[in-house]
Chain A
Amino acid sequence: MKNFNLHGVMQAPVTPLKDDFSFDVSGFEKMVDFHVRHGAPAIAWPHHKAESLNLTIAERKLGAEIAVKTVAGRVPVSIFAGTLSEEDSLDIARHAQKIGADMLLTISPYCRRPSQEEIFDSIVRIGTHTDLPVLTYNSPWRNGEGVEFTAELTKRLIDRLPNYIGMKDASFHSEKFLEISRVALKMRPGFSIIQGVEHLLAAYPLGACGSFSSSGAIAPNLCNKFYASLVARDWETARECQFKISRLWRLFKEQYPSSLKGAMIMMGRSVGPTRSPLPTATKERIEFLRKQLEELNILQTEPHGW
């Protein structure tokens, strides 16, 4: 198994759409290239930020091909295989391997409140279906919905799947994170625990290797500075970056990624509207964001345009 040494704030591009809501191929090429040129240590697509469940399977395959081709080996590319139907996930997994993606991020199908046994079976089916390294997406929701990879389940999956190399962890919880990290990192040194978005400061000292990114769409410099401060153990700077990112997340988390796309357009990257049922950011919303981003010193310090 190839060792990718995943680390840093890894970028998860949005999916640019044309005004008629169709997939904007050249926009997506520019988006992926933008992230790589601005220091992304890996590219991961299509996460929720990319409206993944609002893309057809054909569009997801098309985007995966564009991502791999545009990145062209400069950094690793992870393709997300989570869908509503396991057959679709298997299909995406086969396709990702065929087109030369570097790894697969997966979760058992959404909206089912699966038991731990069902999650185990689902991940084993996908993980044994591909030769690619596999990451799983731990997404426990507060109300008990969602798909939770407990430490015990993680342990069983590491035992079962030699290609299970890491986890996208969106538990954002001291105890849950520590349970997974202390068990998984002992069993499989190098197991990559990647925070779902940049809630990274609380997890980094305990063994998280990095995060995927929400704010990188508008603040890649901030993301890179944040990770560098963690490596340097400069906690003061790390806190300053984390708190700024946290304020950004508060601006963007509602109806994600509508507002984020609005802010990107305002910064000169025309990523287009957001597909229904999510709304597209209004002019008023974008003007509000402009003021907030100016106050946070983002507009003055981050790249505009492509």
Chain B
Amino acid sequence: MPTFSPGLVHTPVTPFKKDHSIDYDTYAKVLEFHIRNGAEALALPMPEGEDMSLTDPELRSLLKFAMEQVKGRVPVIAHVSDAGTSIAIERALYAQSLGVAAIVSHPPYFWHPKPSMVVEHLVRIGNAVKLPFFIFNPPVESVGTTLSTEIVLELIEKLPNLVGVVDAGLDFVFMEEIMCNGRPLRPDLQLIAGADFMVSAGALGGSGVFSPLSSVAPKLVRELFELCRKGQFVEARSAQENIGALNHAIKAAGASGLRDGLAGLKTVLASMGRDCGVPRPPVRSAGEIERGDLLEAIAAMPFLKDEPRGW
């Protein structure tokens, strides 16, 4: 049975040029930045990498580019999620052929599927590959559906290569339940924080994180990760609150009903000397007033002074 504990996983953004095409020159810089700034693994393209806005050929070419750029220095986890099961399976097989370390999949986009459809979708993708397989629990506001404890338990029974749940749902009850009911079925089942809220997941026995804020504040993310890895959850509170403030400011910007934070993230990155363009339509970029508010909020965060500027 394959196993893989990815640790501190950075989740890069996808840079775009003015014509909205993928900016590969900048993407190379993005990947180098993450490797230089403490990524133990990369997962891409996660929601903050705007995976839903990329075509199937682009998703493949992005992954291939990343594998060639990273050259095995850190493991790469391929995010393969789609509305269609067969589309996702084909892309997962392609990712496997490129030599990725693991696959992470989200419940199927768009359908508001019943639990049995979610199970069917994820089982077929997981079964198609011979790699460690992670399932991603999206935020409750998100597209498609969130995972339930029952879905996770059924997936554990049906997928020998299911190694963990990457949780961005942030629900205490779900996290507790998959740990206390899932671990008896799969003793090394991993709970991985799917957003930068590591203290709550870590206290409940989680390990590792997929960190959206690693592109902005890799030092702070590393500090919080180390404290949680050592079980110093009370000591981690101040770093977690700083992360919370940064997360809040970024998510408050932009017009997204999902509070996806994409507009805010790219605004902050540009202000820190790492211009990655603006999000692809239909996501709106931050307007002038929002941009002003966000940059003012960021300027008032002294803990960001130590974070890297430029590439």
Contact = CB atoms under 8 A, between A and B. Distances in A.
Contacts of A235: 203, 231, 233
Instruction: Name the interface size band of chain A.
Output: 20 to 34
Nearest to A201: B203
Contact of A243 (B179, B240, B241): B179
B300 to A, nearest CB: 14
Contacts of A179: 244, 248
B176 interface: yes
A203 B200 contact: yes
B140 interface: yes
Contact of B234 (A202, A233, A239, A247): A233
A88 B306 CA distance: 54
A242 B200 contact: no
B176 A178 contact: no
Contacts of A246: 173, 176-177, 180
B203 A175 contact: no
Given A204-B203, A233-B234, A246-B180, A175 B172 contact: no
A179 B247 CA distance: 10
A177 interface: yes
Contacts of B195: 174-175
Q: Which of A176, A203, A205, A244 has the most CB of B within 10 A?
A: A205
- Tell me what chain A mostly uses at the interface: helix, strand, loop, or mixed: helix
A204 B180 CA distance: 19
Given A174-B172, A243-B180, A202 B140 contact: no
A258 to B, nearest CB: 20
Contacts of B199: 174, 202, 205-206
Given A205-B203, A235-B231, A246-B176, A182 B245 contact: yes
Contacts of B78: none
Nearest to B181: A247
A202 B200 CA distance: 4
Interface string A60-71: 000000000000
Contacts of B241: 178, 181-182, 206
A235 B231 CA distance: 8
Interface string A180-198: 0110000000000000000
Contact of B176 (A142, A177, A243): A243
Nearest to B197: A174
A177 B180 CA distance: 22
A174 B140 contact: no
Interface residues of B, number: 30
Given A205-B233, A206-B240, A174 B170 contact: yes
Interface in B195-221: 195, 197, 199-201, 203-205
Contacts of A206: 199-200, 237, 240-241
Contacts of B180: 242-244, 246-247
B contacts with A: majority SS: helix
A202 B244 contact: no
Contact of A182 (B170, B204, B244): B244
Contacts of B203: 201-202, 204-205, 235, 238-239
B290 to A, nearest CB: 17
B236 interface: yes
Given A178-B197, A202-B203, A173 B237 contact: no
B173 A205 contact: no
B175 interface: yes
B154 interface: no
A242 B175 CA distance: 11
B245 A199 contact: no
A37 interface: no
Nearest to B175: A202
A239 B205 contact: yes
Contact of B172 (A181, A199, A205, A233): A199
Nearest to B183: A243
Given A182-B241, A203-B172, A242-B204, A175 B197 contact: yes
Contacts of A238: 203
B203 to A, nearest CB: 5
Given A206-B199, A206-B200, A172 B177 contact: no
Contact of A205 (B181, B236, B245): B236
Interface string A221-252: 00000000000010100110011101101100
- The 8 lowest CB-CB distance pairs between A and B, nearest first, are A243-B180, A205-B233, A202-B200, A174-B197, A174-B170, A246-B176, A174-B200, A172-B172
6 contacts: A174-B172, A201-B204, A203-B172, A206-B199, A233-B233, A239-B179
Given A172-B172, A205-B203, 11 more contacts: A174-B200, A175-B195, A175-B197, A177-B200, A178-B197, A178-B240, A178-B241, A182-B245, A203-B172, A203-B200, A206-B199
